[in-house]
Chains A and B, each alone.
Chain A
Amino acid sequence: MAEIQIKNVAKSFGAYQALHDINLTIADQEFMVLLGASGCGKSTLLRIIAGLETATAGEVWIGGRRIDHLSPKDRGIAMVFQNYAVFPHLTVFENIGFGLRMQKLPNDEVTRRVERVATLMHIEQLLKRYSGELSGGQRQRVAVARALAMEPDVILMDEPLSNLDALLRMEMRAELKGVLAESKTTAIYVTHDQVEAMSMADRISVMHQGRIVQAASPIEVYRNPSAEFVASFIGNPPMNFLKATPAGDGKWSVAGQVMDGPRADRPHLQFAIRPEDIQPAEQGLTATAKVVEPLGAHLLVTCEVDGSLFRAVLDSDMVVRPGETLTLAPQADRVRWFDPETTKAVA
């Protein structure tokens, strides 16, 4: 059992506070992705769990044991680094076996484990090479194999695929997910790439400016963002926002259209809808098409509604010309509302 509990963790670098009161529980064998823009504190949180950085406040528990005062090697973790950190002066074999050698395991045990994970990662034919003789993708595999060889309770990965080209990244994404599920380890995976997060995660923690804004399953984060930041960060093209003014009794006026909304006593709300949840209709928002981009599977139309930018993903059979006026209806059950003051979702 390797449940991870992060309790009230904060971190300051001098006067700069990189993490604010982080609370997060990651279940045994869960694949948790920390997702956020560059500089939001993902690596710092991961490094605190690894023991490469010391938290200013708070506790970290793994498998019911408090570990934040232990040295990295006693935490039952292994890590995959962004730039791989495959030791250049050691062969692939010795790289994968590095941690096992440090544990002074007998030679035949080291060989057995190295060969097993090398086969798993399809690098068994590279064992005698040095890292200078490997491609980026192969180095990546060595870094993962080195972590798996430790048979850790928890595996930590800091943007492990960000240095690979797009095609390789897609391939490794699926493979990594499979290998980790097989190994039954708890995984924390840091990325700024939302596609990676959506496709790999059991749960995503969306981070923003040193805080966890929402921690939920990918589909939940996508469908029911808890805050405006999450709504705008996740999804490509991003969610549309329009200003809504009260029209009495749970009704809100959006770009001249009156819609059902939450019964909230606010001077304004933000109306939000995803581009793919919009259909052309008899009745709806009046939009002026600005840019039309045929993307093969869909037609992406960037319009203007009530003076704001508004994107719609339409059927690719539709013919729309720039300058044309469209009437677009949002799918009622997909509409979300946010309070502009707190930026939180309003039900």
Chain B
Amino acid sequence: MNAGILPYVLILPVTLFLCVFFLYPFVLVAQQAFSDGSNFTLENFREITSHWKFPISLKNTLLLAAAVVPVQLALALLMATMVTRMQKGRDIVLYIWTIPLGISDLAAGIIWLAIFDQSGFLNSMMSGMGLIDKPLNLLSYQNPGIVFLAIALAEIWRATAIMLVILVAGIGLIPKEYYEAAEVFGASPWKRFLRITLPLLRPSLQTALVLRVILAFEIFAVVAALGGTLFPVLMGETYSYQFDLLNNRAAAAMALIILAISIGFTLIILRVLRVPKGASI
């Protein structure tokens, strides 16, 4: 067979699979979002965006992403740098740090609920130390700050490791000679991190950030477990349009809005962290 055609023939099954199970459903969703049953319309979008909960859930989603992702990025960078410098036990530490990756987001939410709950671990500890006389309902509408904090903590605990794994692999690709050259030419350890590690890590940072930001906009189960209806987010609203209000056109429109936001941020990240031609390792 012609060697030029062979690669395309080999990826054909996967391509077909993606078309049938991904592209086709996507087209159906888009159709639903832009129709009133028979005609093209923007009515579904008007309906969801004019609902009083929409700006709140949009704000909450963006706020959560803005609070969680930078912390995760900083933590993942710190952890990756530490792991890379380890001589011994590096693999074990990495395994332990990535354990949360194996836990589903709902389970993670429930674990943190067990900590913040009225009869939870945090309350028993505080009363055990005599800080409070009766258990507090921390996750209530009176404490929106604590609800936000609990959700952010659970997300950081749960999903930092995915960035860590990508960054550890990325740091491993940077040749040691660059660090030695930087050291000889007078760069302190902090300068080496800023001037060598970060710029040479751009491809990995792109991947890690895109992945994390997209997942941050899709946050759902952790919020459902810890905040319930106290903390509306875009994905939770999509769920309630589909299954509580049985309005699948509105749900489809919500899904497209989340997709658009994700694509927007992906493009920004790719642009900001792009590597000029000829400047890769």
Binding site for B on A (CB under 8 A): 50-52, 71-73, 77-79, 81-83, 85, 87-90, 98-99, 102-103, 129-133, 146, 150
Contact = CB atoms under 8 A, between A and B. Distances in A.
A37 to B, nearest CB: 22
Contacts of A98: 182, 185, 187
26 contacts: A51-B184, A52-B180, A73-B183, A73-B187, A79-B181, A79-B184, A81-B180, A83-B175, A83-B177, A85-B177, A85-B178, A85-B181, A87-B181, A87-B182, A87-B196, A89-B199, A89-B200, A89-B279, A99-B185, A99-B186, A102-B186, A102-B187, A103-B186, A130-B279, A132-B280, A133-B278
B185 A89 contact: no
Nearest to A94: B195
A50 B184 CA distance: 7
B67 interface: no
Interface size class of B (residues with CB under 8 A): 20 to 34
B164 to A, nearest CB: 23
B53 to A, nearest CB: 45
Closest 10 CB pairs between A and B? A132-B278, A99-B185, A102-B186, A73-B186, A85-B181, A130-B278, A133-B278, A89-B199, A130-B279, A85-B177
B275 interface: yes
B216 to A, nearest CB: 28
Contacts of A50: 184
A98 B185 CA distance: 7
Contacts of B178: 85, 87
A72 B278 contact: no
Contacts of A51: 183-184
Contacts of A83: 175, 177
B184 A52 contact: yes
A90 B281 CA distance: 11
B191 interface: yes
Contact of B185 (A82, A88, A102, A131): A102
A230 to B, nearest CB: 31
B276 interface: yes
A82 B175 CA distance: 13
Given A52-B184, A72-B183, A129-B278, 20 more contacts: A72-B186, A73-B184, A73-B186, A82-B177, A85-B175, A85-B180, A85-B181, A89-B200, A89-B202, A98-B182, A98-B185, A99-B186, A102-B185, A130-B276, A130-B278, A130-B279, A131-B278, A132-B277, A132-B278, A146-B185
A90 B199 CA distance: 9
A82 B177 CA distance: 9
A78 B200 contact: no
Interface string B89-100: 000000000000
A85 B183 CA distance: 12
Given A83-B175, A89-B199, A72 B184 contact: yes
Contacts of A132: 277-280
A150 B181 CA distance: 13
B152 to A, nearest CB: 33
Given A73-B186, A83-B175, A102-B186, A88 B181 contact: no
B185 A150 contact: yes
A88 B196 CA distance: 10
Contact of B279 (A72, A88, A102): A88
B217 to A, nearest CB: 30
Interface in B61-81: none
A229 B277 CA distance: 50
A288 to B, nearest CB: 51
A130 B183 CA distance: 21
B181 A89 contact: no
Contacts of A71: 183
Interface string B202-216: 100000000000000
Nearest to A53: B180
Nearest to B187: A102
Contacts of B182: 87, 98
Contacts of B281: 88
Contacts of B187: 73, 98, 102
Contacts of B280: 88, 132
A283 to B, nearest CB: 58
B200 A81 contact: no
B223 to A, nearest CB: 39
Q: Identify which of A78, A87, A89, A129 gathers the most chain B CB atoms within 10 Å of its CB.
A: A89
Contacts of B200: 88-89
Interface string B150-190: 00000000000000000000000001011011111111000
Nearest to A97: B185
B168 to A, nearest CB: 20
Contacts of A77: 184
Contacts of B276: 130
Contacts of B183: 51-52, 71-73
Contacts of A150: 185
A72 B202 CA distance: 28
Contact of A102 (B180, B191, B202, B275): B191
A304 B126 CA distance: 93
A332 B275 CA distance: 67
